[in-house]
Each structure stands twice: as structure tokens, then as C-alpha cells.
């Protein structure tokens, strides 16, 4: 039996990216940031839509802000680009998304560098847990969906992943929504992902320790027993963010703080995880 009174609920941001406009007559190139004292790592090539892409580092050499800028096609006269001069994307590096105040960090950077925020381009919200509040295990829920016992009411496009062995078949990842969907949902074994990627995000495991789920960050155990942590993740893009705001009736920036943020997680959990029991054939 899990002693829930000793565990804190873990909710947070795993991706925070803004679509912004640069101030006229200010140098936003990699060299421009270097001239203002930043260390910058440039990529040799940009993206399909942006000619420049680089990462601004913090004082310890860790990634801090990822920038995509200089829209392609502005001078072609073809009229096919949706961008204007000065449009760019700025994304908070993943490690800083787990800071105590990731929104504040990004907004300070925006203010200091005199960007104008056009919209939140993408935000991924998550909650980490061992079992559902009902006491049900995520593996059982996923198995019922795969076996057509449960059916999700919305986001009908579903994908699953798992492993088959001589002794058992396990499902450890399920998602709903297509690549271009405004809102997509994933439930997956986060412990498994952490192990398979070589513990390259120790700050996530440290979050689990602080919340009381584990006491050994190296082996991911509690009182010597392995702990399997799961994550529900919502990736919200474009108009999906506006829809979420309408449901909560809160401001774009306010939603990212304390009570409003927890309310958004609850709202997404209740709406995105609606399901029904399928009738037996």
C-alpha cells in the first residue's frame, strides 16, 4: 500500500517554447549574443523555415536557451512564407524547465533581450506518479486499452509500444494524437526511459527523490526496492493552448503559475483521459 501522505504530487513543464519578434536595430545573431557576453554554440545549418539555429549557454556551460531565427524566403518574392522579418522561436533548455521558476527565467530573458512575445508556440505539461489515484496500475490501464476493454473518447489516433518475451508481454508506452494535433497525450514508463538513455537527465530523478517516491537516485529504489515511475504528458501547440485557456478562463502567463498550473493539469487529466468500457462482442 502506497503511503500517499508522504509523497508530493509532481507536476511540471518539460517543454516551453515561445514564438517572438525581435526588436528593430538589435543584433539577435549568435555573434550579437556573444557581443553581449553570452557563450553560444551554433549549428552549421538551420531548419526548413529558419536559416539560423544556436544554443545560448549558462555560466557553467550548460544549454540555457535554444534559438531558431532568420526566416527563410522573405526575399524570394514568392509570398509563401507565413513569417515576418524578425520572427523567431526561443525555447528554454530542458534542464531549466525543471527549475523552481522556469517561466520566470524565460520571461527575464525575453525582457532583457527586448523580445516581443507573439504567442506560446508549444508547452509540454506532465505529472509523474507510481499508480493512479484510484489505486490502478498504469500497466493494467494500458493493457485494457490494448485489449479493447477500454476506449478513449477523444484523440482517436492511438499508438502503443511494448516488449514481448518468452514469459510475458508488457506495454510501457501509449499515445494519442497525431504529429500535427493541437493536443497530444502520452502515458509511458519514465523509469525505463531514464535507464535506457543513460541517466542523462539526473534532475528528473532528483525530483522524484524530493517528492518522496525514491530514496536512491542511482538505482531508483525506495527502501531497497525498485520503483517504477510513470509519466502522463500533454503536448499543447498553437490553438490547443488557447482552448485550454478558455476552459480555465485564465491569462496566457498566469496559467503557468501555482494554482492555475495545477488546475490546468487536473483539467487536462479529466478531459484527455476520458474513456468508456467497450461492450463485449
Percent of the chain with pLDDT over 70: 77
31 contacts 21 by C-beta, under 8 angstroms: no
| Residue 176 burial class via C-beta count within 10 angstroms: exposed 0-12, middle 13-18, buried 19 and up | buried
pTM of the model: 0.83
222: part of which helix (H) or strand (E)?
Answer: strand 221-222
- Beta-bridge partner residues of 2: none
How much is the pLDDT for 3?
A: 37
How much is the pLDDT for 277?
A: 47
- For the segment 250-266, the average pLDDT, to the nearest whole number, is 46
Q: Which three cell numbers, joined as nine digits, stand for 150?
A: 477500454
- For the segment 132-139, the average pLDDT, to the nearest whole number, is 84
158 contacts 39 by C-beta, under 8 angstroms: no
Compute the distance between CA of residue 173 and CA of residue 159 in angstroms, rounded to an integer: 8
Write the CB contacts of 45 (distance below 8 Å, at least 6 apart in sequence).
Answer: 53
Q: Say yes or no to pLDDT of 67 above 80.
A: yes
Q: Which residue has the higher pLDDT, 164 or 91?
A: 91
Compute the distance between CA of residue 158 and CA of residue 272 in angstroms, rounded to an integer: 13
Q: Say yes or no to pLDDT of 242 above 60.
A: no
Compute the distance between CA of residue 96 and CA of residue 17 in angstroms, rounded to an integer: 12
> Predicted confidence band at 167 (pLDDT cuts at 50, 70, 90)?
confident
Percent of the chain with pLDDT over 90: 45
Q: Say yes or no to pLDDT of 245 above 80.
A: no
Average pLDDT over the chain reads 81
Amino acid at each position: 500500500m502506497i503511503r500517499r501522505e508522504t509523497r508530493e504530487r509532481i507536476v511540471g513543464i518539460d517543454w516551453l517554447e515561445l514564438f517572438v519578434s525581435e526588436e528593430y536595430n538589435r543584433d539577435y545573431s549568435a555573434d550579437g549574443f556573444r557581443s553581449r557576453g553570452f557563450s553560444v554554440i551554433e549549428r552549421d545549418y538551420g531548419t526548413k523555415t529558419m536559416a539560423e539555429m544556436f544554443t545560448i549557454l549558462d555560466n557553467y556551460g550548460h544549454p540555457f536557451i535554444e534559438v531558431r531565427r532568420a526566416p527563410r524566403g522573405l526575399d524570394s518574392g514568392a509570398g509563401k512564407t507565413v513569417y515576418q522579418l524578425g520572427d523567431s522561436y526561443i525555447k528554454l533548455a530542458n534542464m531549466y524547465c525543471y527549475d523552481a521558476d522556469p517561466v520566470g527565467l524565460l520571461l527575464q530573458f525575453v525582457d532583457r533581450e527586448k523580445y516581443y512575445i507573439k504567442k506560446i508556440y508549444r508547452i509540454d505539461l506532465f505529472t509523474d506518479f507510481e499508480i493512479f489515484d484510484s489505486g490502478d496500475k498504469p500497466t493494467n490501464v494500458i493493457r485494457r486499452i490494448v485489449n479493447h476493454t477500454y476506449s478513449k473518447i477523444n484523440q482517436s489516433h492511438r499508438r502503443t509500444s511494448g516488449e514481448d518475451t518468452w514469459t510475458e508481454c508488457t506495454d510501457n508506452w501509449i499515445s494519442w494524437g497525431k504529429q500535427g494535433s493541437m493536443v497530444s497525450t502520452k502515458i509511458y514508463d519514465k523509469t525505463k526511459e531514464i535507464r535506457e538513455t543513460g541517466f542523462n537527465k539526473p534532475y528528473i530523478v532528483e525530483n522524484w527523490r524530493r517528492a518522496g517516491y525514491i530514496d536512491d537516485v542511482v538505482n531508483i529504489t525506495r527502501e531497497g526496492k525498485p520503483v517504477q515511475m510513470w509519466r502522463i504528458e500533454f503536448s499543447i501547440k498553437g490553438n490547443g493552448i488557447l482552448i485550454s485557456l478558455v476552459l480555465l478562463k485564465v491569462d496566457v502567463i498566469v496559467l503557468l503559475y501555482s494554482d492555475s498550473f495545477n488546475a490546468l493539469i487536473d483539467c487536462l487529466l479529466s478531459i484527455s483521459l476520458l474513456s468508456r468500457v467497450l461492450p463485449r462482442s
